[in-house]
Amino acid sequence: MAGINLKELSKKPDLLSGGHRACSGCAATVVLRQILLAAEDPVVVSCATGCLEVATTIYPYTAWRVPFIHNAFENSAATMSGVETAYRALKKRGKIDREIKFIAMGGDGGTYDIGLQSLSGAMERGHNMLYICYNNEAYMNTGIQRSSATPFGAATTTTPAGKVVPGKMQFAKDLTGIMVAHRIPYVAQTAPHNYRDLMGKVRKALSIEGPCFMNILAPCFRGWRSKMDDSIETSRMAVETCFWPLFEVENGQWKLSYKPKEKLPITEWIKVQGRFKHLLKEENKAMLDAIQKHVDERWEELLERTSGKPSS
């Protein structure tokens, strides 16, 4: 993505203060810092209940240096819809004369599941806002329960891998595709290891008039049972194995953002995560093969939609 100048960014203030209560190695806070650094205009942020909200706003403290609204699990998008509408009304009356951007956020629990109806409504109504899902693939804040974003085969506290059930038995919901089906101006998928891609997409989304959606992978070492200092590498391997491809859909046009020089087998991503360790046993080889087949099929579909060439 063009337009991301490191020298310029180094001079910008950090809009998320240190001293918050997020876990060491939490990718969600890395994602958040990149989002806020990418914004060129003042922003108002809403965030559904979840890891990010709990870690950054334990009363009476806040780590946010922008206007921030804590929402219930289900209504981050609905709240920001109202804020954006009020802003337009006040601007029309001449009571506000500056440009302000609006970002609603939620984890996968508050986006894929509990908040899906308010997200869909906000996108369908056409509010001028960006919704961002920081996707750590489970309900991490409440004890690592499965969500509809949790990958097939993953062990969680509600889908424990054992003799009865070998992990989650459903593939993750294609929320990015669902948002594309809303025919909104901009939808993108990205990950924090590729900061230029992530920040460039945030900047593009905030420059577009109308509703935009971004799905951002946010590795959680606690829930994924990976090493604390491996979150960024785990993000990179999700992309290099094509489990989490980077792409965007702008006004219906699919564009590939990154194509690995060598597509790695899914085991390279799975083997560093304890939530998948049972899949490496011979008796579960069929499940591992099913994951690889699913990844391969989805990747080929994406290549067909984008002509297989990364956009410049």
Q: What is the pLDDT of residues 59-100, one digit of tens each?
A: 899 999 999 999 999 999 999 999 999 999 999 999 999 999
pLDDT at 2: 54
pLDDT at 4: 85
Residue 311 lies in a domain: no
CATH number at residue 188: 3.40.50.970
The residue behind tokens 């020089």 is: 261
Number of structural domains found in the chain: 1
Interval 7-21: pLDDT, tens: 888 889 999 998 899
CA gap 231, 219 in Å, rounded: 6
Share of the chain above pLDDT 70, in %: 99
CB 257 within 8 A of CB 247: yes
Average pLDDT of the segment spanning 109-135: 98
Q: What string of DSSP letters covers the chain? A: -----HHHHHTSPPSB-S---PPTT-HHHHHHHHHHHH--S-EEEEEESSHHHHHH--TT---BSS-EEEE-TT-HHHHHHHHHHHHHHHHHTTS--S--EEEEEEEHIIIIITTHHHHHHHHHHT-S-EEEEEE-SSBTTTT-B--TTSPTT---SSS-BSSS-BS--SPPP-HHHHHHHTT-SEEEEE-TT-HHHHHHHHHHHHHSSS-EEEEEE---HHHHT--GGGHHHHHHHHHHTTSS--EEEETTEEEE----SSPPPTHHHHTT-GGGGGGGSGGGHHHHHHHHHHHHHHHHHHHHHHTT-B--
pLDDT at 310: 86
pLDDT at 187: 98
**pLDDT(25) > 90:** yes
Share of the chain above pLDDT 90, in %: 92
**pLDDT(1) > 90:** no
- When pLDDT is cut at 50, 70 and 90, the band that residue 210 belongs to is very high
Pairing relationship of beta strands 247-250 and 253-256 according to DSSP bridges: antiparallel
Which tokens hold the place of 152?
């097939």
> Residues 6 or more apart from 198 whose CB is under 8 A from it?
31, 34, 35, 38, 190, 191, 192, 216
pLDDT at 311: 76
Average pLDDT of the segment spanning 49-66: 94
Residue 1 lies in a domain: no
Residue 264 lies in a domain: yes
Interval 279-309: pLDDT, tens: 999 999 999 999 999 999 999 999 999 987 8
CB 119 within 8 A of CB 63: no
pLDDT at 120: 98
**pLDDT(47) > 90:** yes
**pLDDT(54) > 60:** yes
- What is the amino acid identity at position 254? W
- CA–centroid distance for 116 within its chain: 14
Cα four-point dihedral sign 293, 296, 301, 304: negative
pLDDT at 5: 86
Pairing relationship of beta strands 43-48 and 68-71 according to DSSP bridges: parallel
pTM for the model stands at 0.96
Residue-number span of the structural domain to which 241 is assigned: 6-306
pLDDT at 3: 74
Q: What string of DSSP letters covers 229-260? A: GGHHHHHHHHHHTTSS--EEEETTEEEE----
The values of phi and psi at residue 75, to 5°, are: -135, 30
* Bridge partners, residue 190, by sequence: 216
Interval 161-200: pLDDT, tens: 998 999 999 999 999 999 999 999 999 999 999 999 999 9
pLDDT at 309: 81
